[in-house]
Structure 1
Amino acid sequence: MNKRQMERIRTGQGFIAALDQSGGSTPKALQQYGIEPSRYSGDEEMFALVHEMRTRIIKSPAFDAEYILGAILFENTMDRKIDGLYTADYLWEKKGIVPFLKVDKGLAELDGGVQVLKPIPDLDGLLRRAARRNVFGTKMRSVIHEANPHGIRKVAEQQFELGKQIWSAGLVPIIEPEVDINSRDKRESERLLKDEIFKQLSALAPDVTVMLKLSIPTEDDFYRDLMDEPHVARVVALSGGYEREEANERLARNHGLIASFSRALAEGLSDQQSDEAFNGLLTGSIRSIYKASIA
């Protein structure tokens, strides 16, 4: 494990950029970027176009280690190159930004008010590849829709079981049990989830380190005590469907919580924009998210 990267994640000022839209969400991400499905045929062309989009973001002067601590990649992006370097190496060597990898394969059907992770075939093989590609950590997303104690326990148990496997492979897991921002009982779900997270953390071996990626809580500073737990390197927040302005406002009220935004980061960017317009808009987005993250 890279100690410089760990120190940066633990103590650095900034946020984590989520550039990890996968197969199911890539067409929507491209459409938001101004690329219609008629412009590509098949997965290979689609993934090549989304890599061009991510490359444009990563190579932008706005995408700078002064504001960004880490970036989460999709598996297909990890295996592609930017200027002759694998994406993770480009991020760290050229930008000083810590690379993460999305390892989940999507969500199972709704059951007990939650969606756990689908099985991840040959996770060990993927983790070995990620380590060879100099990836620092991973992330995997489950979703909680209702304050169902049994369902929320299942989500936490699955996340931490996989987290231990990931840590054993030499990578730092981002545990991501998202609470749906539209849930009618979001506050209660957050209370149940925090209790389950503390139970799981207390059962970890002393040397295990994880990160937590959580929805911005209903009650400000609700996750403050998780930040002080010895196993937790950092607590980051997903935008969860909020527009960037609202996500930033909510985030700024939660001291110590930093962003790990995806859609809110890329909001307004377009394939048709000149580099000047693209970089200008991205600069504004990144600086606003950074400002909310260091509040």
Structure 2
Amino acid sequence: MSTGTELQETVADLVDGSRGVLAADESSGTIAKRFDSIGVESTEELRRFYRSLLLSTEGLENYVSGVILFEETLGQRDDAGVPLPQLAAVRGIVPGIKVDKGKGPLPGALGDMITYGLDGLAERLAGYKEQGARFAKWREVYPIGPCNPTRLGLTANAEMLARYAAVCQACGVVPIVEPEVLMDGDHSIERSAEVNEAVWREVFAALGRHGVVLELLLLKPSMVTPGGDSPRAPPQQVAEYTLRSLRRTVPAAVPSINFLSGGQGPEEATANLNALNSLRQAPWQLSFSYGRALQEPALKAWGGKRQHAAAAQRALLKRARLNHLAVLGEYQQTLEQA
């Protein structure tokens, strides 16, 4: 199979107009915080069990087309000895892998960050493919402040995303490109729109320079919202600002935009996604790639106890189904009580 055909098949399996991507790729530090929130110690065994219960949820494949995994999860097995990536694949859920190695300060750009992990990426991707991964994800983060992101922050982060995406496509792995504009702060929705547009414009310029094929990637951006310390905006306003900014900056060749939830609560993230699809003005699929906004109810229902696994799966399935309806523009708040 040619690399191009391989990439096309993965995109076709991920993008079908109604499903989204489950982000289950929390780093060791992040999942420890999630487990802390329910009073559970983050051991390898508990992480394995929790993620296997997510991936074995019956019916999840009706609402989720792909799952992003952490490196540790690729090598783990369920209680019956089935590799966790295979557990997803047999359900028709495409396994993917987070490949960046975390972030740190960007020298010369006070307040901005840069992500690590390009060294040896092609070799790592070859190993991940053998373990079942067919797509990858890389995240760059952009804080909003009076002077951030800087011009250097915009260009350096875009360059990293483009280099990562080019390596992925050369290896037959579909890249998810994630430029996350952080919600932290008290900025307005207008300021958020300004920064997101600057970020996306720079990212697509860099992707073009590196010859990345836009039809063979997915974009995982933030929604345009006010800062977390500002009053929440209603879904209709979030949708209008987000879609206007996307239409100004993201080429129509991109097959799917799978939003991150980025600090939004589960119901808020679903309502905002539904509002976006209710506008029916987008040339791309508008879907989700949620982590906490999909998992939070399941995590609380599980509570670290094996006997609560079925309750956790029901909670995950409900949120996945409601977000599937939001992709179709058919979600209603009253469904939360059903």
Q: Secondary structure at the match of 2:125?
A: helix
Query: Are 2:244 and 1:244 aligned?
Result: no
Q: Which amino acid aligns with 1:14?
A: R
Q: Which amino acid aligns with 2:252?
A: E
Q: 1:3 and 1:274 mapped to 2: Cα distance? A: 39
Q: What is the deviation of 1:100?
A: 0.8
Query: Are 2:189 and 1:187 aligned?
Result: no
Q: What is the deviation of 1:173?
A: 1.0
Query: Are 2:76 and 1:80 aligned?
Result: yes
Q: Secondary structure at the match of 1:143?
A: strand
Residue correspondences, number: 284
Deviations along 1:186-227, one digit per CA (max 9) or x if unpaired, are: 222111012113313433537562211111124131324666
Q: 1:6-85 counterparts in 2 under 5 A?
A: 6-36=11-41, 46-62=43-59, 64-82=60-78, 83-85=80-82
Q: What is the deviation of 1:175?
A: 1.0
Deviates more, 1:112-121 or 1:245-254: 112-121
Question: Identical aligned pairs, as a percentage?
Answer: 26
Deviates more, 1:270-279 or 1:238-247: 270-279
Q: Secondary structure at the match of 1:108?
A: strand
Contact 2:166 2:211 in 1 (8 A): no
Q: Secondary structure at the match of 1:100?
A: strand
Deviates more, 1:219-228 or 1:148-157: 219-228
Q: What is the deviation of 1:101?
A: 0.1
Query: Are 2:257 and 1:257 aligned?
Result: no
Contact 2:223 2:259 in 1 (8 A): yes
Q: What is the deviation of 1:26?
A: 2.2
Q: 1:111-122 counterparts in 2 under 5 A?
A: 111-122=109-120
Q: Which amino acid aligns with 2:286?
A: L
Q: What is the deviation of 1:119?
A: 3.7
Q: Could you say which residue in structure 1 is the equivalent of 2:316?
A: 282
Distance 1:226 1:55, change over 3 A: farther
Deviates more, 1:153-162 or 1:274-283: 274-283
Q: What is the deviation of 1:285?
A: 1.6
Q: 1:180 and 1:108 mapped to 2: Cα distance? A: 15
Q: 1:114 and 1:292 mapped to 2: Cα distance? A: 33
Deviations along 1:27-71, one digit per CA (max 9) or x if unpaired, are: 11222354136xxxxxxxx22211110101111225x21100100
Q: Could you say which residue in structure 2 is the equivalent of 1:213?
A: 220
Contact 2:169 2:212 in 1 (8 A): no
Q: Which amino acid aligns with 1:58?
A: L
Deviates more, 1:67-76 or 1:131-140: 131-140
Distance 1:132 1:225, change over 3 A: farther
TM-score normalized with structure 2 length? 0.77
Q: What is the deviation of 1:23?
A: 1.8
Distance 1:35 1:154, change over 3 A: same
Q: What is the deviation of 1:10?
A: 3.0
Q: 1:13 and 1:121 mapped to 2: Cα distance? A: 36
Distance 1:33 1:257, change over 3 A: farther
Q: Secondary structure at the match of 1:18?
A: strand
Q: What is the deviation of 1:17?
A: 0.2
Contact 1:220 1:253 in 2 (8 A): no
Distance 1:207 1:47, change over 3 A: same
Q: Secondary structure at the match of 1:25?
A: helix
CA RMSD of aligned residues (A): 2.3
Distance 1:195 1:161, change over 3 A: same
Q: Which amino acid aligns with 1:124?
A: A
Q: Could you say which residue in structure 2 is the equivalent of 1:233?
A: 255
Contact 1:149 1:192 in 2 (8 A): no
Q: Which amino acid aligns with 2:206?
A: Q
2:126 to 125, 128, 134: 128
Q: Which amino acid aligns with 2:287?
A: I
Q: What is the deviation of 1:228?
A: 5.0
Structure 1: unaligned runs, 5 residues or longer: 38-45
Q: Could you say which residue in structure 2 is the equivalent of 1:169?
A: 171
Distance 1:119 1:282, change over 3 A: closer
Q: 2:178 and 2:12 mapped to 1: Cα distance? A: 21
Q: 1:92 and 1:279 mapped to 2: Cα distance? A: 18
Contact 1:239 1:264 in 2 (8 A): yes
Contact 2:14 2:20 in 1 (8 A): no
TM-score normalized with structure 1 length? 0.87
